[in-house]
Amino acid sequence: MVLGFGAREATKDIDVVIRAPAAATVRQLAAAVAEELGWPADWLNDAAKGFVGQPSPGPLLLEAPGIVARAVSVHHLLALKLAAWRDDVDIEDARLLLRACPPEESRDVLWSRVEVFVPRGREQTAWYAFLDLWEAIHGAD
């Protein structure tokens, strides 16, 4: 949200899904970065993998020797924020993401593109959050 959408000035960690090299190697490298920069040891959070599922192809955020960082698609990220719906940060992030979706997408088309990324067991929460947010931004259909 911070890198891809400028949603806010800071975040306490970066949620990642590590694809290569091995997660243990990336964790060691992240620990070295944390020590060198005085950051918290848990600044790189790969616990998000349990919610993301198969990452969707999103925009390239960073490419440098040995690293490629991509965001998930806007629809995927919106699904995760709607499913979480924990606090004002999630709600404001979801509002920003909904506004970033193609304006020509109808409510039902947009939901069909978002729904496939909603983590199992969170479908109802995400659906009602989506309806509330859609109505707040676009009005009732």
pLDDT at 108: 94
User: Which residues fall within 8 angstroms of residue 58, CB to CB, at 6 or more apart?
Assistant: 4, 70, 71, 72, 73, 74, 76, 77
Rounded distance between C-alpha atoms, residue 139 and residue 125, angstroms = 20
Q: Please state the pTM of the whole predicted model.
A: 0.76
Rounded distance between C-alpha atoms, residue 81 and residue 126, angstroms = 8
Rounded distance between C-alpha atoms, residue 101 and residue 112, angstroms = 13
Terminal-residue alpha carbon distance, the chain:
28
Joined tokens for residue 12 = 């306490």
Look at residue 19 and give its three-state secondary structure.
coil
User: What residues does 44 pair with on adjacent strands?
Assistant: 14
Q: Which residue has the tokens 């699904």?
A: 79
Look at residue 37 and give its three-state secondary structure.
helix
Successive 10-residue mean pLDDT values, the chain, 141 residues: 69 74 84 92 79 73 81 88 86 90 91 92 93 89 61
Q: What is the DSSP string of 65-131?
A: TTEEEEPPPHHHHHHHHHHH--SHHHHHHHHHHHHHS-TT--HHHHHHHHHTTSPTT-HHHHHHHHH
pLDDT at 16: 77
